[in-house]
Amino acid sequence: MVVKETFGGFRGAVAEGDVDAEARGEGPADVGVGALLAARLYQALGMALLVIGAQGAIRRLVDHDNAGLLSWLPGGFAASITVYVLAVVIGAVVAGWAHDARKAAAD
């Protein structure tokens, strides 16, 4: 899985599936630099998707004739506003997930 390979820097008993290891104080020994960089990259990409989607949705709501980046998309107003809103939601979820992963990797 791509996410597991990207954030594969986790080591220790917790990463191996021992759920009681954290209670005994045996947390991950090392998270590696790659996990932090990947989380920052995903956070930046998520924020970019969120901003592009929000800007496009606002533009489309204000000026129904200006489809912006999605002018090639068939389906008119409903299709383009749906895609822009989906971009906002997906961008927010990816950025939030990456932010939490980065905070967890840094601790």
15 Cβ contact list (under 8 Å, min separation 6): 28
Q: For position 27, what pLDDT does the model report?
A: 53
Degrees (nearest 5) of the Cα angle 18, 107, 11?
35
Q: Are residues 18 and 53 located together in one domain of the fold?
A: no
Q: For position 18, what pLDDT does the model report?
A: 56
Q: Which domain holds residue 26?
A: 1-30
Q: Are residues 22 and 51 located together in one domain of the fold?
A: no
Q: For position 40, what pLDDT does the model report?
A: 87
Give the Å distances, CA to CA, from 106 to 72, 99, 103: 42, 11, 5
Q: Are residues 62 and 50 located together in one domain of the fold?
A: yes
10-residue block means of pLDDT along the chain (107 residues)?
Answer: 48 52 55 72 94 94 87 90 95 92 77
Q: For position 32, what pLDDT does the model report?
A: 60
Q: For position 46, what pLDDT does the model report?
A: 94
Q: Are residues 92 and 45 located together in one domain of the fold?
A: yes
Q: Are residues 71 and 89 located together in one domain of the fold?
A: yes
Structural domains of the chain, count: 2
